[in-house]
Structure formats: C-alpha cells, structure tokens
Amino acid sequence: MRELPRDPERLKHIILAIDNATSFTEGKSVEDLQKDPLLFFATVKNVEIIGEASYMISLDFKANHPKTPWKKIVGLRHVFVHEYYQILPDELMNVIQNDLQPLRKQVVEYLKEFETIAG
C-alpha cells in the first residue's frame, strides 16, 4: 500500500491547482466561463483539489497556521462537489481573482518552513 501524501505534498498540490485555475482563466471573463463548459469544469475541478488537499492537511498543521481559513476552503470544496449545480460563473471567477493568490502566498511561506526544518 502506498503512503498517503504528507502536508508538504498537499501544500504543493494546492499551489499546482491554484496555478492551473489562474492560468486557465488568464485573460478570460465570466462570459467565457459561461460559454465554455470545458473551461468552467476544469477550473471548478482545480478549486475542488484545493479544498480536498486542504481537508487532508493534518489537524496539527492547520491549528498551527490559523491565518489560513481552512474551514472556509474545505467548505467551498463541499459546495463545489455536492452542490455543483449551484456554482455560478461569477462566484467562481471571484474566488479565482480575489482568493487564490493570497492563499498561494501563504502556502509558499508554509513550504519554506518545511525546507527550514529539513535543511
């Protein structure tokens, strides 16, 4: 049986999913998300990955990094997975434009902590 990814790997998954979602929507509009189901669902999937990776991060790590709204991130994932039919393109774009880059910045800093411990 393979070992489950640990916190640093989950953090890397978050960064990759943020980078995917932002690159997919770079130069795009809400109307583009409405018209292009492939763009819409590829972007939604990456936001789901952010939420799932956040959910799988250890409770100790999350408790030691309360600046990040872990519960909100996981909650958004639950909405995207279980209430997928209610996702509005403008709300998705709002998350991408306003929430992902600040989260990415935090996660990059968290990864530096692991480098400091290991190095």
What is the 3 state secondary structure string of 15-26?
HHHHHHHHHHHC
Per-residue pLDDT band for 13 (boundaries 50, 70, 90) equals very high
Selected catalytic residue, list 6, 10, 65, 77: 77
Is 2 a domain residue? Answer: no
Q: Is 16 exposed, middle or buried (0-12, 13-18, 19+ CB in 10 A)?
A: middle
pLDDT of residue 14: 98
C-alpha 12/C-alpha 90 separation (Å) is 27
Residues 10, 78, 82, 104: which is the catalytic one? 82
| Total domains present in the chain | 1
Compute the average pLDDT of residues 80-106. Answer: 92
Q: What integer is the mean pLDDT of 81-86?
A: 82
The answer to whether residue 101 sits within a structural domain is: yes
In the annotation, is 65 catalytic? Answer: no
Residue 2 has pLDDT above 60, yes or no: no
Give a yes or no: residue 111 inside a domain.
yes
Residue 116: is its pLDDT beyond 80?
A: no
**Is 1 inside a domain boundary?**
no
Is residue 13, in this structure, part of any structural domain at all? yes
Q: Is 26 left (phi over 0), alpha (psi -120 to 50) or beta?
A: beta
Report percent pLDDT > 70 for the chain: 93
In a domain, 38, yes or no: yes
Q: Confirm whether 77 is a catalytic residue.
A: yes
Q: Round to whole Å and give the CA distance between 108 and 35.
A: 33
Domain containing 13 equals: 7-118
For residue 119, give Cα distances in angstroms to 7, 35, 113.
17, 48, 10
Residue range 4-33: average pLDDT?
95
